[in-house]
Chains A and B, each alone.
Chain A
Amino acid sequence: MPVITMREALHDALREEMIRDQNVFLLGEEIGRFGGSYKVTEGLIDEFGPERVLSTPIAESGIMGMATGAAMTGLRPVAEIMTINFIMVGMDQLVNNAAKIPYMFGGEARTPLVVRTPSGAAHQLTAQHSQSLEVWFAYVPGMYVVAPSTPADAKGLLKSSIRNDNPILFVENLVMYNEKGEVPEGDHVVPIGKADIKREGGDLSIITYSRMVHMALEAADVLAEEGISVEVVDLRSLRPLDVETMIASVKKTNRALVLHEGWYKYGAGAEVAAQIQEHAFDYLDHPVVRISGQEVPMPYSTVLERAAQPRMEDVVERARFMLGRK
């Protein structure tokens, strides 16, 4: 299998779907000549022209409203919002329009669109550029929120998302674009709504998504040396939430630790913990543990920034504690 970066996987998915379906077009800030803020769309304007790779003004309401209107009338727009931090100024279009139109018009309309956007924190980007807001959208019935952790999943899930008839927030991670991984050749498609066991284990389930999958895998390596066998469940989408897979894992390991970048209270961990107590309460040997980002706006100092983010050492330490080890 070829090894490519996350960026290349996303790029290839876009390109292949644009070749496959004439109705697929891209829109967003700086996605044309500039190649995209994270260079995912680089070169596509040369191949498909400025009508299918539309560079827009800085207008998030305009972009997501435009995508919704185009989707209602037969196109399959893929919008790029430069980072999830800018999504709030246009959020009404996604939440009140794209997500609700199919339902509130009684199934008479469809909004097949994808909004791609990087989430997460790093590089001292500070308070207004280091957020994980995807849970806000996962809260909304009518939305799908997809968040891959590997190049293979990124490619397969993006292709599925573009072919899907529902409005989808496709969450990338701003520090993962250069991460490499094997990606199957050919028309590689990953179904939406299916979690993936990234590592099998019997003592503890770490339930996570996006970049934190890799922290969980690192922690699992460390714990393995101590004889603790960790199962890593990559949710891959926050809505649909694959409750079945994560519950099956917890029933096997009897311990669950939820790990994510976003804030603690009302975060993804809160929902996962609630699902576990509803569906696997009798199987638990330890209360569900949540590890998340600290509840502060992201500070600038490298020391403070590190302190505000989940740490692998904490995952290892909490896991040991859950198993009664010191």
Chain B
Amino acid sequence: MVKEIERTELEPTSTENRPAEFHESKEELHSLFRTMSLIRRFEDTGWEMYTRAKIGGYFHTNHGEEATVVGTICPLRPQDWIVSFYREHGHIIARGTDPKYVMAELFGREHGVAHGRGGSMHLFDYSRHFLGGYGIVAGQMPLAIGVGWSSKYRGQDEITLLLTGEGAMANGASHEALNMIGLYHLPVITVVVNNLYGMGTTVHESAANPEIWKRGEMYGMHGAQVDGMDVMAVRRTMQDAMKRASNGQPSLIEAMTYRYRGHSVADAARYRSTEEVQSWRQQDPIERFYRQLSKADLITEEERNAIDESVEKQVNAAVEFADSDEHPDPNGLFDHLYVDPPAGVSL
């Protein structure tokens, strides 16, 4: 018999007072801060464009999860691969794809990253080894076995970052993927972005043992849990996992975070309290990073304002580009379905 689990507010476990240690240059830190701010701005504007019907379909934002995005993706090297899921606008931007091509995709235009065929859930940039966003929960996970295997097979020093949500960890595909990644000692780092809710279902309602990072051991991986609202903590955990991956040890990282908005634009998130959302907003990853940097005299208010202004400009330019970009030609409906199909045959 299934009893409904009594819900309590899911409060953040803060590492706010952890002294931030910075080994990075000021420029590098500012770049991380800027990328987080850019993603926030991009999502704000994207949401607005959605409500103005410039964007259709589903629309899942990274609001509140910016530290998990930037902390895991920015340390990667150009040769490393990323396999992501459907909440991936920030992921592709953090990887360096120009936001104007991302926005154009959301607008369904020809010069979008998937030429208007993919949309919000299916962003892609092969040149940056960003192997896509996927719309079936956990369905992207088995792909990472093959990407990791391929690096090893080709004898290349490449790491694969597999991003997934905690909801996917209840699906069978996650088990097959993690078991095989562990079994073959593949250079794959699996990051579970645990935002506590799979749509409206809490992790306590979907996981027999909600401490997902502990599954690492069972798959022969290094398991770690990290405060996903602290970009530097995520970054350190990721850098450690990268060292392990290069030595043939995969990792399973659980990054504790929170999405400020509903599951998608269509979700008003009535299943959680205002107090709960507020308690997480107080841990806002961008504000926290700013406080850390500020305390260490690594950023001034003027510098922050300049960054904010510059990302606003960049996102506005992205919207302008997307809005004026051409729609795909309906005559190209069947383009890309097959590579070199045989002539004169019904496909």
Partner pick for A165 among B139, B183, B340, CB 8 A cutoff: B340
Q: Give the contact-size bracket for chain A.
A: 35 or more
B344 neighbours in A (Cβ, 8 Å): 244
* A74-B154, A97-B139, A106-B115 known; A69+B147 contact, CB < 8 A: yes
Return the contact of A69 from the options B117, B142, B340 (Cβ within 8 A): B142
- Residues of chain A from 81 to 112 with CB closer than 8 A to chain B in the complex: 89-90, 92-93, 96-97, 101-110, 112
User: Which stretch, A59-67, A172-180, A308-316, touches the partner chain B?
Assistant: A59-67
B179 touches A59 (CB 8 A): yes
Whether B122 lies near A105 (C-beta < 8 A) is: yes
B197 within 8 A of A: no
**Given contact pairs A56-B180, A57-B179, A105-B118, A66 touches B132 in the complex (Cβ within 8 A):** no
Q: Which residues of B contact A241 (CB under 8 A)?
A: 345-346
Q: A25-B153, A109-B132 are in contact. Are A240 and B347 (CB under 8 A)?
A: yes
Provide the bound-state CA to CA distance between A243 and B345, in Å. 7
* A194 touching B142, Cβ below 8 Å: no
Known pairs A108-B124, A243-B345; A75 contacts B150 (CB<8 A): yes
Given that A61-B172, A105-B117, A106-B114 are contacting pairs, would A243 and B346 also be in contact in the complex, using a CB cutoff of 8 Å?
yes
Task: Assess whether A72 is in contact with B153, with CB atoms less than 8 Å apart.
Answer: no
- Min C-beta distance of A199 to chain B, whole Å: 22
A191 touches B342 (CB 8 A): yes
Q: How far is B346's CA from A302's CA once the two chains are assembled, in angstroms?
A: 39
B100 vs chain A, min Cβ distance (A): 16
* Count of interface residues, chain B, beta-carbon cutoff 8 Å: 52
**Could you tell me the distance in whole angstroms from the C-beta of A111 to the nearest C-beta in chain B?**
9
Task: Indicate if B296 sits at the interface (CB-CB under 8 A).
Answer: no
- B173 near A69 with CB under 8 A, answer no
CA A158 to CA B60, docked complex, whole Å: 42
Q: A73-B151, A92-B139, A242-B345 are in contact. Are A66 and B118 (CB under 8 A)?
A: no
Question: Is B341 located at the chain interface by the 8 A CB criterion?
Answer: yes
Whether A35 sits at the interface, judged by CB under 8 Å, is no
B338 interface neighbour in A65, A70, A77, A166, Cβ under 8 Å:
A166
Q: Is the CB of A62 within 8 A of B132?
A: no
| CB atoms of B345 and A106 under 8 A apart | no
Task: Tell me the nearest residue of chain B to A51, going by C-beta.
Answer: B153
- Assembled-state Cα–Cα distance A245/B232 (Å): 64
Contact A72 to B142, CB < 8 A, known contacts A61-B176, A142-B338 = no
- Tell me how many residue pairs across A and B have CB atoms closer than 8 Å: 167
Q: Which residues of A contact B122 (CB under 8 A)?
A: 104-105
A71 → chain B closest CB, angstroms? 7
* CB-CB contacts below 8 Å: B313-330 with A: none
A104 and B117 in contact, given A142-B338, A192-B342 (Cβ under 8 angstroms): yes
- Chain B residues lying within 8 Å of A68, measured Cβ to Cβ, are 142-143, 146
Which residues on B sit within 8 Å (CB–CB) of A244?
344-345
B231 at the interface (CB under 8 A from A): no
Of chain A, the residue at the smallest CB distance from B148 is: A69
* With known contacts A57-B179, A59-B179, A74-B154, A109–B126 Cβ distance under 8 A: yes
**Nearest B residue to A101, CB-CB:** B132
Residue of A65, A74, A103, A165 ringed by the most chain B CB atoms within 10 A? A65
Name the B residues within 8 Å of A166 (CB-CB): 338-339, 341
Shortest distance between the CB of A63 and any CB in chain B (Å): 8
Residue A193 CB within 8 A of the other chain: yes
Docked complex: B204-235 residues within 8 A CB-CB of A: none
Q: Which residues of A contact B150 (CB under 8 A)?
A: 69-70, 73-75
Q: Does B83 interact with chain A (Cβ within 8 Å)?
A: yes
Q: B residues within 8 A CB of A192?
A: 342
B136 and A92 contact, CB distance less than 8 A: yes
| B149 interfacial by beta-carbon distance below 8 Å | yes
A104 and B132 alpha carbons, distance in the complex (Å): 10
Give the docked Cα–Cα distance between A182 and B245 (Å): 50
Whether, in the assembled complex, A141 has its beta carbon less than 8 Å from a beta carbon of chain B, the answer is yes
Q: For residues 243 through 270 of chain A, which have their beta carbon under 8 Å from a beta carbon of chain B? A: 243-244
Let me know if B52 is at the binding interface, CB within 8 A. Answer: no
Query: Are B142 and A64 in touch, CB under 8 angstroms?
Result: yes
B145 and A65 form a contact (CB under 8 A) = yes
| B146 close to A77 (CB less than 8 A) | yes
**Which residue in chain A gives the minimum CB-CB distance to B337?**
A103
The answer, among B151, B154, B338, B342, for a CB contact under 8 Å with A194, is: B342
Given A75-B153, A103-B336, the answer on whether A62 and B126 have CB atoms closer than 8 Å is no
B134 on the interface (CB 8 Å rule)? yes
B335 / chain A contacts, CB cutoff of 8 Å: 107
Which chain A residues lie closer than 8 Å to B149 at the CB level? 66, 69-70
B102 within 8 A of A: no
- Chain A residues within an 8 Å CB radius of B153: 25, 51, 70, 75
Determine whether A211 belongs to the interface, using a CB cutoff of 8 Å to chain B: no
Complex CA distance for A142 and B334, rounded to whole angstroms: 10
For B176, list chain A residues within 8 Å (CB). 57, 59, 61-62, 65
| Central interface residue in A57, A67, A103, A142, by most chain B CB within 10 Å | A103
Report A89 CB to chain B, min CB distance, Å. 8
| A155 contacts chain B at the CB level, 8 A cutoff | no
CB of A62, distance to nearest CB on chain B (Å) = 4
Contact between A141 and B337 (Cβ–Cβ < 8 Å)?
Answer: yes
- Chain A contacts for B173, CB-based, 8 A: 61, 65, 92-93
A62 lies within 8 A of B124 (CB): no
CB pair B117 A65 closer than 8 Å: no
In the complex, B256 has a CB within 8 A of chain A: no
For residue B178, which residue of chain A has the nearest CB?
Answer: A62
Question: B141 contacts which chain A residues (CB < 8 A)?
Answer: 65
- In the complex, 6 of the A-B residue pairs with CB atoms within 8 angstroms, ordered by the A residue number, are A59-B180, A65-B145, A97-B140, A103-B117, A106-B336, A144-B338
Q: Apart from A108-B114, A112-B339, what are 5 other A-B pairs with CB-CB below 8 Å?
A: A69-B145, A105-B117, A106-B116, A141-B337, A275-B346
Binding site for B on A (CB under 8 A): 25, 51, 56-57, 59, 61-62, 64-75, 77, 89-90, 92-93, 96-97, 101-110, 112, 141-142, 144, 164-166, 191-194, 239-244, 275
The 5 residue pairs across chains A and B that have the minimum distance between CB atoms: A65-B142, A69-B146, A106-B115, A107-B336, A70-B146
